[in-house]
Chain A
Amino acid sequence: MWLHSAVLDNGLKVLVQDLPGQRTVTALLMFNRGAKDEEVSENGISHYVEHVAFNTSHHTGELKRLAQQLLTRGAQQNADTTKEFTTYYMTVMEEQLPAAIRMLGLLLQEFSALPQVVENERQVILRELSMHHHSAKRIFDLFAECLWGTYTLGLPVIGREETVRRITAEQLSAVVERDYTADNAVLVVLGKCDHRRVYDLADQAFSRWRPSGQRKGEYLVSQTPSILVHHEPGAQNALLCIGAPGVPHGHLSASALDLLNSILAAPGEGRLFRILREERGLVYQLTGLSTHYRHAGAFGMVTNCATRDVKTVIRLIVQEFDRVRRYGVTEEELESAKARLALERYLEAENVMSLAKRLASAALFGETYTVQDLNRQMQATSPQEVQSAASEYLKRRAVSVAGVGTMEEEEIAALI
């Protein structure tokens, strides 16, 4: 299965992989545009653009016809925005591929921020924001702010209520004009397809799209570890993320930290999972966080516990960080972690949408993704490298804590 790639005259990268035996095809358009590119005053605008672009009620002409055609043929379409990228994608039966590529081509080229649509989507996003603030996911936003402040990677993808209320149609149009350009995007097509035909279809759909000619997607990171608590008076439970700044994508210690994360947090086998849940009954869930962005990374343990147990949970997690720094990990622990991580990565690579996103983000970084390369690097990691990474990145002085609940920041400060 060859991965074919080409670059159109306007700078749009095109990646195509024929997956034999498939009847469906997935087409994905990813932009190097996300919360990392936003000003604080416009936080949430990338996500807002995604909403407006995908609102079919304002589509006219060919775009409307294509949208109806694809929907009546059962096409699955969606979009998502992350800290670094915005992605529009659809999965269709092979005969609908021309319509799918054509529609992806028109979505942003014919972007129109009609006042009625902008207002409608503002209400939708405010609802989404309200749901988000009541979900456990907010701890990830809080931890990002804890590590990077209210700046680029520290900004929440969904934005803040005050900024979402203020964003105007003119601002949306200006952002699309400036950053949603051919040379800041990649088209990935995976499934039942021929790469030469996809190149032709992409050329027809995207050739009118002008490049910006400017380098996009670079950003600065302000790494300022902190303690940050969102007070929730009367809460009987607390959400916590205890961790530290990690390493960026491609860093030599990235695999070591990924493996250490698994050694600590893996369900059933992770050290902290055993200590916090199986031995002490303090937590229900423990999730490891090991993220590598282009210019920064995050390492953490995410959990929830009763308010009365907050101090104990934080103390036990920090103690385990200390223990790994001092005594390292065993060969057996490391081999298990490698097996778990290899399985997770192969599962991801065997999911067409996940694979397409991996290929796209790597292409926007100027790299090529293969699960084999990723696992080869991981398999070569030694116990000494894991201990060394822990010593470097999980020092007491690097520990940061984000929490939601009734605890006070000073109480946490005294524990780390």
Chain B
Amino acid sequence: MEHAEAASLDELSQPEQRILMALDRRAAAVMDMSAELDLSPAVLTMYLRRLQSANLVQVCEQRFLGNQVQKVYGLVPGSRVLIRAKGGVATKMLQFCSVLTNDVREHIDDKAPPGSFTAGMTIVRIPRAALPEVMERINQLVNALEVMEDKEHGESFTISVAIYPRIDSQDSGSEGRSEA
């Protein structure tokens, strides 16, 4: 994982970021990380599950002891996440990354101007029935923003909108709720 400002990452206290930093140092099993990060195995596993679904963390090794399997987690090679914002925004940034395609993620990472980039993020859940109306309003907004583009005066910002079905563990595909 590449991160330009490790010091600023250190200041962040969100568990996902602490887990990513720990795994950046070395791959580890839940029990190893649990003590190091002072998180209970249950809480740690909860966050690891999210990071896995975000394609940031993967099981890189399985250890066998009798009939027990212990999973060793590591970062997904090549995953690049830029986290500069603090507090809740940073957590949401990670959730955001979970829905971006690699291309978009790379784009943000490569193009972000050093030192001054902040990301504002909002995650909302919407029912499937409201999706057409939400899409329509977002399109109107994006169309309005396009006329504001000023290519001649340097720094510009990109807005990415991701709408994706929320798949809970017990959900069937057809009953999945939408999250935007």
Inter-chain contact B169/A133, CB cutoff 8 Å = no
Select A233's contact among B45, B49, B177, beta carbons within 8 Å: B177
- In the complex, whether A222 has a CB less than 8 A from a CB of chain B is yes
Select A227's contact among B46, B125, B171, beta carbons within 8 Å: B46
Q: Which residue of chain B has its CB nearest to the CB of A401? A: B42
- In the complex, whether A416 has a CB less than 8 A from a CB of chain B is yes
Known A161-B174, A220-B69, A224-B30; contact A142-B42, beta-carbon cutoff 8 A? no
Min CB–CB distance A134 → chain B (angstroms)? 10
Q: Which residue of chain B has its CB nearest to the CB of A397? A: B40
Inter-chain contact A228/B125, CB cutoff 8 Å = no
Inter-chain contact B67/A416, CB cutoff 8 Å = no
Select A230's contact among B40, B45, B169, beta carbons within 8 Å: B169
Tally chain A residues at the interface, Cβ within 8 Å: 38
Tally chain B residues at the interface, Cβ within 8 Å: 27
| Count of CB-CB pairs between chains A and B under 8 Å | 84
User: Given the complex of chains A and B, what is the CA–CA distance between A272 and B46 in angstroms?
Assistant: 26
Inter-chain contact A226/B46, CB cutoff 8 Å = yes
Inter-chain contact A218/B41, CB cutoff 8 Å = no
User: Given the complex of chains A and B, what is the CA–CA distance between A222 and B177 in angstroms?
Assistant: 29
Min CB–CB distance B90 → chain A (angstroms)? 14
Interface centre among A141, A233, A399, A413 (most CB of B within 10 A): A413
Known A221-B67, A222-B71, A413-B46; contact A160-B172, beta-carbon cutoff 8 A? yes
| Proximity string of chain A (134-155) to chain B, C-beta cutoff 8 Å, 1 when within and 0 when not | 0000100110011000110000
Inter-chain contact A231/B42, CB cutoff 8 Å = no
Min CB–CB distance A392 → chain B (angstroms)? 15
Kindly list chain B residues whose C-beta atoms are within 8 Å of the C-beta of A223.
68
Q: 30 A-B contacts, Cβ less than 8 Å apart?
A: A129-B172, A133-B172, A141-B170, A142-B169, A142-B170, A145-B169, A160-B172, A161-B173, A161-B174, A218-B67, A219-B67, A220-B69, A221-B69, A222-B70, A222-B71, A223-B68, A224-B30, A225-B45, A226-B42, A226-B49, A228-B46, A228-B169, A230-B169, A231-B177, A233-B177, A295-B68, A397-B41, A399-B42, A413-B43, A416-B40
* Among all A-B residue pairs, the 7 with the closest Cβ atoms: A161-B172, A226-B45, A295-B67, A225-B42, A222-B69, A230-B170, A227-B46
